[in-house]
Amino acid sequence: MFKETGVQNAYFPLFIPKSFFSREAEHVAGFAKECAVVTHHRLMNDPDGKGVVVDPEARLEEELIVRPTSETIIWSVYKNWIKSWRDLPILCNQWCNVVRWEMRTRPFLRTAEFLWQEGHTAHATAEEAQAKAEEMVGVYAKFARETMALPVIVGHKSPNERFAGALDTLTIEAMMQDGKALQAGTSHFLGQNFAKSFDVQFAGKDGSLEYVWATSWGVSTRLMGALIMAHSDDNGLVLPPALAPIQVVMVPIYRTDEEREAVLAEFEKIKSELSSKGISVKIDARDTLRPGFKFAEWEVKGVPVRLAMGARDLASGTVEVARRDTLGKETLSIEGIADHVEGLLKDIQKNIYEKALAFRTANIRKCDDWNEFQTEIQKGGFLLCHWDGTPETEQAIKDATKATIRCIPVDSVVCEEEGKDIFSGKPSHRRVVFAIAY
């Protein structure tokens, strides 16, 4: 995903000393309510009976925070790495798990512990940092659209929804099949906030001493949830071919060992043709399961294309081709099948994206009336509304409806026009995206 971005992989500690964590005031305020805190380093046998208890003697002098994100520990290290303009930029990425102690969790979409990648960059100028934040949200949007077949809207977060400690947060927002919004990835322009909190300055070409400019950005296992919630149907997962670990599965149908051998031999030929085109193929040769069971099982797993072949096909030189996205089937000649499958995979990738996009388009509408807003927003989907730009109005709308401003779009939907705020009636120059979010 990060090819061409110049980013290097790194790994920083899981535990953050409480004093590091508390250096950036807004950051602390944003995360304080959801931190797991390590207070002790030892257990002991319960003196009164069974089991173990925390050893009260083993209390830490300074508590450790299990990272909810790594800005603080990373900037405490960057302080030592950055002295001169020659040290910049620094572009680090790490894959790690983080902990945010949510009151209420949801599988994949909001878990107390999640795996993610987080990038942290340091730059000599504000312009360069801002450009990097924009570049990275673009990387996420491209991955979501082209690989996950997930249409996303790129935009800015409103001040209320911004990352704690950021001057600007860019987001990719997706719509799930129930009409709710999902923030699928974010990229932050952090200004000089962390540099100032951790005293990270560099000597410029002209000898001046200046604070460093920062960005951070991340996507998580929430993307797995996005994939499931955006594409799945009642038969299970629907994987975009560009992401599927197995793109084509082959299921043999046979009565006798002879038929089995003959079909499998034919499958091997097709497999080598497909493999030479870079297509990943699985031959399901298990002979303890019946074909119907295998069909259903591979559908649950979301494999994009299934080929089935039996005695009938052997006699006629054909193969049954089934596609996961539409559940359509057709019987085709084995001749030229590899070319057909190659094209079919591209078509499925395109179709899954377009289906999701059509759903989103059908569920985005403009709304200019506050009474209408209150009933419409509960039905799901995105409402494009005028907003006066104040946190007070945004908060009032949230309190009344649970809807939030998902983003101030920079692509996908046209929003620039004059109007009046849906709630306050004050003048507005553009519409923003409102929705109920996960």
Residues that bind RNA (CB under 7 A): 30, 33-34, 100, 102-105, 109-112, 114, 161, 163, 183, 186, 220, 222, 235-236, 253-255, 290-293, 295-297, 299-300, 306, 308-314, 320, 322, 327, 329, 331, 402
3-state secondary structure of 405: strand
**Please, what is the minimum distance in Å from the beta carbon of residue 107 to RNA?**
7
**Please, what is the minimum distance in Å from the beta carbon of residue 85 to RNA?**
32
Radius of gyration of the chain (CA): 27
| Closest listed residue to residue 218, CA positions, set 184, 269, 262, 244 | 184
**Please, what is the minimum distance in Å from the beta carbon of residue 414 to RNA?**
25
* Max Cα–Cα distance, the chain, nearest Å: 83
Residue 124, burial from CB neighbour count under 10 angstroms (0-12, 13-18, 19+) = buried
Helix (H) or strand (E) holding 203: strand 201-203
**Please, what is the minimum distance in Å from the beta carbon of residue 219 to RNA?**
9
Q: Say how many C-beta atoms besides its own lie within 10 A of residue 68's C-beta.
A: 21
Cis amide bond preceding 89, omega within 30: yes
**Which of 186, 393 has the CB closer to RNA?**
186
Distant-in-sequence, close-in-space partners of 114: CB < 8 Å, separation ≥ 6: 97, 98, 100, 220, 221, 222
CA distance from start to end of the chain = 25
Angle at which helices 337-362 and 257-276 pack, to 10 degrees? 70
**Which of 179, 291 has the CB closer to RNA?**
291
**Please, what is the minimum distance in Å from the beta carbon of residue 345 to RNA?**
17
Q: Which two structure tokens, joined as six digits, stand for 363?
A: 């569920």
Residue type, 298: W
**Which of 200, 230 has the CB closer to RNA?**
230
**Which of 331, 333 has the CB closer to RNA?**
331
**Please, what is the minimum distance in Å from the beta carbon of residue 306 to RNA?**
7
**Please, what is the minimum distance in Å from the beta carbon of residue 318 to RNA?**
8
Buried b (16+ CB within 10 A) or exposed e, 171-187: bbbbbbeebbbbbbbbb
**Cβ–Cβ < 8 Å for 238, 302:** yes
**Which of 205, 255 has the CB closer to RNA?**
255
**Which of 144, 314 has the CB closer to RNA?**
314
**Which of 68, 89 has the CB closer to RNA?**
68
**Which of 85, 101 has the CB closer to RNA?**
101
**Which of 11, 293 has the CB closer to RNA?**
293
d(CA 364, CA 179): 9
**Which of 89, 409 has the CB closer to RNA?**
409
Angle at which helices 222-231 and 337-362 pack, to 10 degrees? 90
**Please, what is the minimum distance in Å from the beta carbon of residue 315 to RNA?**
8
**Cβ–Cβ < 8 Å for 367, 386:** no
SS (H, E, C) 318-337: EEEEEECCCCCEEEEECCCH
**Which of 188, 431 has the CB closer to RNA?**
188
List residues bridging with 115 in a β-sheet. 97
**Please, what is the minimum distance in Å from the beta carbon of residue 378 to RNA?**
11
